[in-house]
Structure 1
């Protein structure tokens, strides 16, 4: 078993190699809009998971997935040539959900901001039900304290 620091370094190296391999070696037009976002390698260095995003709609994402599966052998060969481990890890490609999650989070933040603005507008002309400071102490006579 390799240590996790070595696996992390290898994962970063695989990320760069796969991205360069997509740009140089793979001539499939379906993979042109792919951005490799992350890679993770198991501690035994046998399996690598490569995360990617695709610019485009659902059909572009489906086409990119098919293109990546078709180019998996070429990309694994590129990885094998450029890393120094005894066995070349298998490659699995997973669509990265971070952009989708980020857009959902932005929508939630936008909704919260709108609600805060409405609440601020309601509170603008509001007055206190009682005194503005209900804990105000009455003026004490100056008796030396």
Structure 2
């Protein structure tokens, strides 16, 4: 009876699992190529009234090259963002087909469109910087109008013998 021990996976099993993960440099190249292909397709071939002014900001591909997360921004209102999300979702299959033909790899990654939070984050940072600038200006104004309180020389000095007389 074998109780209290386990068998480690065979070496070829471990190598097989490692072989499923692509080289990080290759994944990065595929992500960049996917970004270019998607941006080109959306710009030139997607003719949909719902599609707003879209910018593909980033693409991240999983290590096994099976899934690609495509980050995008839309210049416009919340309604335009929602309409663009619907349009991209409707065109996802055709975009994936175009990406598959352009990449030339055995398996085409599945695509997921994710609205990018960069513009909102940048707006928050701009607001924080503006508030800090205003506080600095207020401090500079109050500093220029301020005068020292107390003696001109606040440090105590030892009394000289000549001063005592």
TM-score bin (small chain): 0.7 to 0.9
For residue 144 of structure 2, what is the aligned residue in structure 1?
124
Instruction: Show structure 2 runs of 5+ residues with no match.
Output: 1-20, 159-165
Normalised by the size of structure 2, how large is the TM-score? 0.77
Q: In 1, are the aligned partners of 2:52 and 2:75 still within 8 Å (CA)?
A: no
Which among 89, 94, 102 is matched to residue 109 of structure 2? 89
Deviation at 1:127, TM superposition (A): 2.7
Deviation at 1:25, TM superposition (A): 2.2
Deviation at 1:17, TM superposition (A): 0.2
Q: In 1, are the aligned partners of 2:48 and 2:87 still within 8 Å (CA)?
A: yes
1:73 partnered with 2:93: yes
For residue 54 of structure 2, what is the aligned residue in structure 1?
34
Deviation at 1:44, TM superposition (A): 0.6
Who wins on radius of gyration, i.e. which is larger?
Answer: 2
Q: Which deviates the most, 30-39 or 9-18?
A: 30-39
**Across the two proteins, how many residue pairs are aligned to each other?**
138
For residue 19 of structure 1, what is the aligned residue in structure 2?
39
Instruction: Show structure 1 runs of 5+ residues with no match.
Output: 139-145
Which gives a bigger RCO, structure 1 or 2 (Cα 8 Å, sep 6+)? 1
Aligned pair in 2 of structure 1 residues 79, 134: CA closer, same or farther (>3 Å)? farther
Aligned pair in 2 of structure 1 residues 63, 129: CA closer, same or farther (>3 Å)? same
For residue 74 of structure 2, what is the aligned residue in structure 1?
54
Q: 3-state SS of the aligned residue for 1:31?
A: coil
Q: In 1, are the aligned partners of 2:52 and 2:81 still within 8 Å (CA)?
A: no
Q: In 1, are the aligned partners of 2:52 and 2:76 still within 8 Å (CA)?
A: no
